[in-house]
Amino acid sequence: MAGIKEIAKRTGLSLATVSRVFNNSALVSPTTRQKVLKAAKDLDYQPNITAAALRSGKSKIIGVIVPEVNNYFFSGIINGIEGIVSESDYNIIIAQSHESQKKENEALNSFLKLNVEGILLSISKQTTDFSSIKKILKSKTPIVFFDRIPNLDSVNSVTLNDYMGAFMATEHLLERNCKNLVHIAGDPNVSIFNDRHKGFSNAILKSEQIGVTATSIELTTDVKKDMKILKTLFKSNPNVDGIFAYGDEVGLHVLNLLKDLKVNVPEKIKLIGFGNANFSNLTQPKISTVDQECSQMGELAAELLLQNLNNKNAKPQTKVLSPKLIKRASTQV
């Protein structure tokens, strides 16, 4: 593992010239370039990124923060990011906020200490204080938000049109002739869950079908308690024939609950989730859902960041992806 010093010695050139070769400077003759490249190969040259980072101020590191890695959605995004970044000469470093504002801030801080050149961030559910984020924005370190974005002006973001996804899911239930719909809603403080709720409500408003009823129920985080609540709901309300769950996991819980209650899906009640989780395709019946295009989201976010890295004056961009309805057995006629 040699550095440019050894190459300089071997070729008889100066450090400066050798360095220029690896920085693709045009100011070097083809012959010397060849000489250097050959020596580099012979000596197994490995650039010392740390030294380059110190001198140039460019660490070649992109920091990524997600709430949880152990989540099909976020790990799909990470794969998307990786796909794009690996084609550049940047490295990525991944941190998890575990939905905690404190850990998110800690991660942002260690990113700054590591001199990351850019940041990709999906904020935690808990994040309501944007001061750390504002600090980053002020520091001019390029940052792109994805999926869960802060309510701030002039920031780069890539999101899914959650409203549209929920709208499509609800419309799908209506098309399947469901008349008494229930939306199992997520924490409304998280913008995307709120959007899904809105999509549900508006789909029903805009469909001009008569005799349609709509109920929304917001869950806690205690699955057992939640299932009890839902059990009561279904028992006291036997006409329910369509359910839109804000996520596939809760959808699966509901599916199991309905089996326990001997309610057939999709014959009696049709069920649709959100997210296209890996297991949604493995249940019986398979759960209809909305695909979040996570890989594409990661790719777009990474591309946007790379653009900003190349051009510090790039204007903030807002990209919104369209979700895709996935019809499966749980909403079959």
Residues forming the site for DNA (CB under 7 A): 3-5, 12-17, 19-20, 22-23, 26-29, 31-32, 47-48, 51-52, 54-56
Residues 22-61 contacting a second copy, CB under 8 A: 46-51, 53-54, 59, 61
Closest approach of DNA to the CB of residue 13, in Å:
4
**What is the rounded CA–CA span in Å between residue 280 and residue 330?**
10
- Residue 185, classed as helix, strand or coil, is strand
Q: 287 burial class (0-12, 13-18, 19+ CB within 10 angstroms)?
A: buried
CA 101 to each of CA 78, 116, 148, 155: distance values in angstroms, whole numbers, following the listed order: 20, 20, 13, 19
Cβ atoms of 299 and 261 within 8 Å: the answer is no
Residues 166-195 contacting a second copy, CB under 8 A: none
- Partner from a second copy, DNA, none contacting 206, C-beta within 5 to 8 A by type: none
Beta-carbon contacts of residue 301 (< 8 Å; ≥ 6 apart): 77, 80, 81, 120, 144, 146, 158
- Partner from DNA, a second copy, none contacting 19, C-beta within 5 to 8 A by type: DNA
Beta-carbon contacts of residue 151 (< 8 Å; ≥ 6 apart): 130, 191
Interacting span for a second copy (CB under 8 A) from 15-23, 70-78, 213-221, 323-331:
70-78
Residues 203-262 contacting a second copy, CB under 8 A: 252-253, 256, 259
The total of other beta-carbon atoms located within 10 Å of residue 218's CB is 15
Closest approach of DNA to the CB of residue 115, in Å:
9
**What is the rounded CA–CA span in Å between residue 267 and residue 77?**
35
Closest approach of DNA to the CB of residue 144, in Å:
24
**What is the rounded CA–CA span in Å between residue 271 and residue 208?**
21
**By rule CB under 8 A, what string of x and - marks binding of each residue 115-144 to a second copy?**
x-----------------------x-----
Cβ proximity to DNA: between 49 and 155 the closer is 49
Residues of this chain that bind a second copy (CB under 8 A): 1, 46-51, 53-54, 59, 61, 68-72, 75-76, 78-79, 82, 86, 91-94, 96, 106, 109-110, 112-115, 139, 252-253, 256, 259, 278-279, 282-284
